Chains A and B, each alone.
Chain A
Amino acid sequence: MNDPAVVLSGVGHAYRPGRWVFRQCTASVGRGRVLAVLGPNGRGKTTLLRLILGTMRPTEGAVAILGQAGFVPQLFQVGFDYPVLDMVLMGRARRIGLLAQPSARDEAAALAALDRFGLVDLARRPFHELSGGQRQMVIFARALASEPEILILDEPTSALDLKNQALVLDWIRRLSHNDGLTVIFTTHHPHHALEIADDALLMLGESQFACGAAAEMLNEDHLYALYGLPLRRLSFEHGGEMIETLAPVLRIEPRAKTPG
Chain B
Amino acid sequence: MTNSSDCGTEALPGLRHALLSDPGRRWPMTAAGAWILPFLGLALAVAMLGSLCIGAYPVAFTKVVRILLTLALPAPFGPDPTWTDAELAAVQVIRLPRVLLAMLAGAGLGLSGAALQGMMRNPLVGPDLIGISSGAACGGILAILLDWPPWGLLAAAFAGGLVALLAAWTLAGLSRGGGVLPFILAGVVVAAFFTAMHGLIQYTADPENKLPAMVYWLIGSFAGATSDKVAILAPPVLGAGGVLLLLRWRINLLSLGELDAAALGIRGSGLRWAIIALVSLIVAAQVTVSGIVGWVGLIVPHFARMIAGPDHRRLLPAAALIGATFLLVMDDIARTLAQQELPIGVLTAGVGTPVFAILFWRLQVRGWSHE
Tell me whether A112 and B6 are in contact (CB under 8 A).
Answer: yes
* A98 nearest CB neighbor, chain B only: B250
Residues A98-131 near B (CB distance < 8 A):
98-102, 104-105, 108-109, 111-116, 120-126, 128-129
Point out the residue from B256, B263, B313, B370 that lies within 8 Å of A55, measured CB to CB.
B263
- Bound CA–CA A101/B256 (angstroms): 17
A88-100 interface code vs B (CB 8 A; 1 in, 0 out): 0011011010111
B251-283 interface code vs A (CB 8 A; 1 in, 0 out): 011011101111111100001000000000000
User: Which residues on B sit within 8 Å (CB–CB) of A3?
Assistant: none
Whether A115 touches B22, Cβ cut-off 8 Å, given contacts A81-B369, A83-B29, A94-B265, is no
Expressed in whole angstroms, the minimum distance between the Cβ of B240 and any Cβ of chain A is 14
User: Which residues on A sit within 8 Å (CB–CB) of B243?
Assistant: 99
Q: List 9 A-B contacts (CB under 8 A).
A: A79-B369, A102-B249, A112-B7, A115-B11, A122-B22, A125-B22, A126-B25, A180-B1, A181-B2
Of B25, B263, B369, the most chain A CB neighbours within 10 A belong to B263
Expressed in whole angstroms, the minimum distance between the Cβ of A148 and any Cβ of chain B is 7
Whether A147 touches B4, Cβ cut-off 8 Å, given contacts A96-B249, A104-B9, is yes
B2-42 interface code vs A (CB 8 A; 1 in, 0 out): 11101111011001101101101111010000000000000
Expressed in whole angstroms, the minimum distance between the Cβ of B311 and any Cβ of chain A is 5
Tell me whether A71 and B118 are in contact (CB under 8 A).
Answer: no
Tell me whether A101 and B249 are in contact (CB under 8 A).
Answer: yes
Tell me whether B259 and A123 are in contact (CB under 8 A).
Answer: no
- Bound CA–CA A112/B248 (angstroms): 24
Residues B278-322 near A (CB distance < 8 A):
305, 309-311, 313
Contact of A179 with B by CB under 8 A: yes
Contact of A53 with B by CB under 8 A: yes
* A81 nearest CB neighbor, chain B only: B369
Tell me whether A93 and B309 are in contact (CB under 8 A).
Answer: no
User: Which residues on A sit within 8 Å (CB–CB) of B66?
Assistant: none
Of A50, A80, A86, A147, the most chain B CB neighbours within 10 A belong to A80
Tell me whether B1 and A179 are in contact (CB under 8 A).
Answer: yes
* B266 nearest CB neighbor, chain A only: A93
* A53 nearest CB neighbor, chain B only: B263
- Bound CA–CA A204/B173 (angstroms): 35
* B18 nearest CB neighbor, chain A only: A120
Contact of A155 with B by CB under 8 A: no
Contact of B147 with A by CB under 8 A: no
User: Which residues on B sit within 8 Å (CB–CB) of A71?
Assistant: 263-264
User: Which residues on B sit within 8 Å (CB–CB) of A86?
Assistant: 29, 252, 311
Contact of A78 with B by CB under 8 A: yes
Closest 4 CB pairs of A and B: A79-B121, A124-B26, A80-B310, A109-B7
Contact of B247 with A by CB under 8 A: yes
User: Which residues on A sit within 8 Å (CB–CB) of B271?
Assistant: 98
Tell me whether A148 and B9 are in contact (CB under 8 A).
Answer: no
Point out the residue from B7, B247, B260, B313 that lies within 8 Å of A108, measured CB to CB.
B7
- Bound CA–CA A111/B19 (angstroms): 10
Tell me whether A76 and B260 are in contact (CB under 8 A).
Answer: yes
Tell me whether B253 and A90 are in contact (CB under 8 A).
Answer: yes
Whether A113 touches B7, Cβ cut-off 8 Å, given contacts A93-B253, A149-B1, A179-B2, is yes
Whether A80 touches B15, Cβ cut-off 8 Å, given contacts A71-B263, A99-B247, A124-B22, is no
Contact of B371 with A by CB under 8 A: yes
Contact of A212 with B by CB under 8 A: no
Tell me whether A55 and B262 are in contact (CB under 8 A).
Answer: yes
- Bound CA–CA A105/B313 (angstroms): 17
Whether A112 touches B19, Cβ cut-off 8 Å, given contacts A77-B256, A93-B253, is no
Whether A83 touches B253, Cβ cut-off 8 Å, given contacts A53-B263, A73-B263, A116-B6, is no
Whether A147 touches B310, Cβ cut-off 8 Å, given contacts A83-B27, A93-B264, is no
